[in-house]
Amino acid sequence: MPFKTDFIWGAASSSYQVEGGAYDDGKKASIWDVLCAQPGRIKDGSSGEIACDHYHRYTEDVALMRQIGLKAYRFSLSWPRIIPNGHDGIVNEKGLAFYDRLIDSLLEKGIEPYVTLYHWDMPHEAQLRGGWLNPEFPRWFERYAKTVTARFGDRVKNWITINEPQCAIGLGLEVGNHAPGLKLPMAEVLLAGHHLLLAHGRAVAALRAHAKAKSSISFAPVGTVCYPVEETAENIQAARAATFEDWNRGCWAPAWFSDPVFFGRYPEGALKRFGKDAPAFTAEEMRLISQPLDVCSINFYQGYPVRAAELPARWVQEPHPAGHAHTAFGWPVTPSAFYWLARFYHERYQKPVLITENGLSNTDWIGCDGRVQDTARIDFLRRHLRELERAVNDGIPVNGYFHWALTDNFEWAEGYQQRFGLIHVDFQTQKRTLKQSAYWYKEVIHANGENL
């Protein structure tokens, strides 16, 4: 049997993308509420103020998860719903109570909750005090982590501290098309990233100290992996090096955030590349950042082919051929890279791998027969899961797979133009419709992947 009997088959979401209820029951604005109110920031002029209305419809959504047969549901907590100001530690009881109800509903249906502390919706009040650039930010995050662990740690056993730090920092503070929408000098971008890593470390410590149940804790970067054009030893080594050590990608290179977490050090090549822009740090800070994690969680959407090259280049990226398949988002479809993602990350960090996001944006609509025939998504998932099966067969420990996303939702700067869900959402009526991919995924879960 390729996948172990307790393999985790799940789907994922994030608070701002699905919950709505933007100002209900004591919640205050997040940085995304503020960004969405600025004209021209979101392509269709929309916001997550209502989104999928999950805040009011979570029981319906949990019932649909059960219908699909999900073993687990990954979701994020809304920090401004729980500690509305972010920085002061004043707790909103109604916010905590919502997640009590959601967690209990999941467990009643036999669905394991996987909780992400931060999926980009920082309280606006915290941003007004400097956000990631404030040296006190890690302590604010630690207090938030302590609060939610003390409340939910008797039932939640799986925690993810921060989702895709590359996007939170790179898109939010360097490129500026994600909240808070800033374009800062590289020195400030890297300092903010260092504070993010310190926040992660303090959160891990709080989770270990206050969880009542034995917990699995991880960190979920996005893994844009390079893969060998042809599987020769030279090309494989070139792809491995290009994946982690392409410092021309700046803080987007996976090793910049992952090496400190797993090894307790920044990559030497990156420090040389960044020079005076690199953040100052102490040995004590690196020990805090690198507290032991239980798994290596990774989000994956696309990869790039490379081949070996003569020194000093070491590798060269190959262009995708004309007519190569792309998703509705314009991202290349590269299922073979999924195998190399699992292999390279396990080899480097020596932890079991957990795929915390994988999926595609597709042009989905409800047909005349009332069904959503998303055959492209089914083919995409089959191809990717076969590559994950290959990794498992090669002895790479893979603990589970979370499809992104459970439902169509608010896709950040794209608004509602991109549909990633297993469940179609009519954003005018909030009607949910299981897509054909949801029924297909149900069969995969039931067969534990033996029907791929």
User: Annotated catalytic residue: which of 19, 164, 387, 389?
Assistant: 164
Contact 12, 406 (CB under 8 A): yes
| Dihedral sign computed on CA atoms, order 141, 87, 54, 181 | negative
User: Annotated catalytic residue: which of 285, 357, 389, 411?
Assistant: 357
CA separation for the pair 31, 80 (Å, rounded): 9
Give all strands of the β-sheet with 303-308 in edge-to-edge order. 225-228, 303-308, 315-317
Q: Is 310 an active-site residue?
A: no
Catalytic residues: 164, 357
